[in-house]
Amino acid sequence: MAENIIIKKLDNDDDYNKTAQLIYETSVELFKAMFGKKEKAVPRIAALIRLDNNIFSRKYILTALIDNQVAGILVGFDVKKIDKKKVEKDFIKALSFFAQIRCLLMLKLSKQILGLDVIDFNSIDGLYIQNLCVDSAHRKKGIGYKLLEHYISKNNPKGSKNICLDVESTNIGAIRLYKKIGFETYDELFIKPAKITLYKMRKK
């Protein structure tokens, strides 16, 4: 018997720590460089989820629930509606002094912190899917496909906007899924501190 999968916006009754853990798992090396090891990074991401004006805010998160437990997440938003100054303020508000120093050091080294350079805000005209992850215990159930389908149908029902995302070059399963939905690779980006290559994909 198929499990009942509920797709909905993240709310206060959902598990923010589990959501933060899944966000961390979308790019472990990148988030380790930004926020530290998992045990420190997850609470920091959860603190950002609770705030309203950053790229990890609960406002932008879809969850897939099985038995009221978070089994998958998608973080996506309209790039033009993101205020970079407010994003920076939320990061300062959510992070400890030493975590801020870590981020500032990475900014100085790579200019790819806060997602503001990794995501090329100036070149994206439309929606950006920042994170998509399914818990390892619930993979191969079509959850990633359902999250993408729900997000696209609710935010771009007439197909009038571009939808962009980045995916690590080694994530073969995710790349296969995105191609199935209609995404195509149009560029790539090497992130030096995290030593990863991102494929930039777009669904027109």
Lowest mean pLDDT among 94-103, 149-158, 195-204: 94-103
Burial 87-109 (b: 16+ CB within 10 A, else e): bbebbeebbeeebeebbeebeee
Residue 75 DSSP code: E
Please tell me the pTM assigned to this model. Answer: 0.88
**Rounded average pLDDT over 188-203:** 83
Separation between Cα atoms, residue 131 and residue 1, nearest integer Å: 29
Domain boundaries, given as residue ranges, for the chain: 5-203
The answer to whether the beta carbons of residues 99 and 180 sit under 8 Å apart is no
Q: Is the pLDDT of residue 120 over 90?
A: no
What CATH architecture applies to the domain 5-203?
Answer: 3-Layer(aba) Sandwich (3.40)
Q: What is the pLDDT of residue 193?
A: 66
**Rounded average pLDDT over 107-121:** 51
Q: What is the pLDDT of residue 107?
A: 56
Q: Is the pLDDT of residue 108 over 90?
A: no
Query: 193 or 7: which carries more pLDDT confidence?
Result: 7
**Rounded average pLDDT over 25-32:** 87
Q: What is the pLDDT of residue 116?
A: 41
Query: 43 or 191: which carries more pLDDT confidence?
Result: 43
14 token code pair: 């959902």
Q: Chain-wide mean pLDDT for the chain?
A: 87
Could you read off the pLDDT of 176-186 as tens digits, one per residue? 999 999 999 99
